[in-house]
Amino acid sequence: MTEDFVELEDALVDLDRENRCGFSEVIYGEGKTADAIRRIALAQIERGIDAFATRVDSEKASAILPDLQKRAPRAYYNQVARTLRAPKPRAESDPALRRGKIAILTAGTSDLPVAEEARETALWTGADVVLIQDVGVAGPKRLIAKLPLVKDADAVVVVAGMEGALPSVVGGYVAVPVIAVPTSVGYGAAFGGIAAMLGMMNSCASNVVVVNIDAGFKAGYAAGLIAKRVAEAANGRAR
């Protein structure tokens, strides 16, 4: 009988999450001690789970990473995204099988930390990911030039602050879900991302949905679920 969870000193690690929800449990690092993150991640690694933690600052990461790399040599820290990941060993994938694809776009370079969190999350889900930076509406020709990289994506994540207009523009060019991520980038009237969020929620592009302010993880996770389902359906047809 398989374990449903493992009980640690200050956490109940959900080992059955992938069976129920598509992907394994993710560690939210903000507010947790380095030791708590370490123990949860090691419990996952020991059971063959691809450990992934978000909102981990560099000081905590420096304390945790050496121990993770002893058990999972490919473990790494993305300082921009503030994510810590310990990928489990994977068998070579069949080149005949399709992998899901996610495109992530940023309106500006200032949105990159949130976009990187989305990118790391999408990679953790097993999707192929393309990141396209700095294609905001102030220079629309930049987006047009990059559209060929987006057209074959199964889901698109658009990260933008200020007035939050970019997801609506992207939504008018693609036939897949557009997951909009408002960021807290902007001057005073941006209200810490509220202006961008409201603009995105009022989008006239019918394929745009919105996650919380600066929630790159949520966008990457949702896009990963979409890409996974599309790939599974395609591979089923291929068989």
Asked whether residue 137 falls in the same domain as residue 63, the answer is no
CA 55 to CA 74: how far, in whole Å?
A: 19
Nearest to 184 by CA among 208, 160, 149: 160
**Is 77 inside any structural domain?**
yes
* CATH code (residue 20): 3.30.110
pLDDT at 237: 65
Q: Residue 16 pLDDT more than 70?
A: yes
For 26-83, how does the pLDDT look when each residue is reduced to its tens digit (9 = 90+)? 999 999 999 999 999 999 999 889 999 999 999 999 999 999 999 999 999 999 999 9
CA 222 to CA 155: how far, in whole Å?
A: 9
HSE-up of residue 117 (Cα within 13 Å, Cβ side): 24
Long-range CB pairs of 41-47 (<8 Å, 24+ gap) are: 41/68, 41/84, 41/86, 42/67, 42/68, 42/71, 43/6, 43/8, 43/13, 44/13, 44/15, 44/86, 45/71, 45/72, 45/86, 45/88, 46/71, 47/3, 47/6, 47/15
Percent pLDDT > 70 in the chain is 95
Distances (CA, A) of 118 to 74, 86, 173, 181: 20, 17, 21, 9
Domain that holds residue 15: 8-86
Q: Residue 91 pLDDT more than 70?
A: no
Task: State pTM to two decimals.
Answer: 0.91
Strands 83-86 and 76-78: antiparallel
For 214-225, how does the pLDDT look when each residue is reduced to its tens digit (9 = 90+)? 999 999 999 999
Structural contact between residues 227 and 154, judged by C-beta atoms closer than 8 angstroms: yes
Structural domain total, the chain: 2
**Is 91 inside any structural domain?**
no
Q: Residue 89 pLDDT more than 80?
A: no
Q: Residue 15 pLDDT more than 90?
A: no
Residue at a domain's end among 43, 62, 86: 86
For 159-213, how does the pLDDT look when each residue is reduced to its tens digit (9 = 90+)? 999 999 999 999 999 999 999 999 999 999 999 999 999 999 999 999 999 999 9
Averaged pLDDT score across all residues of the chain: 92
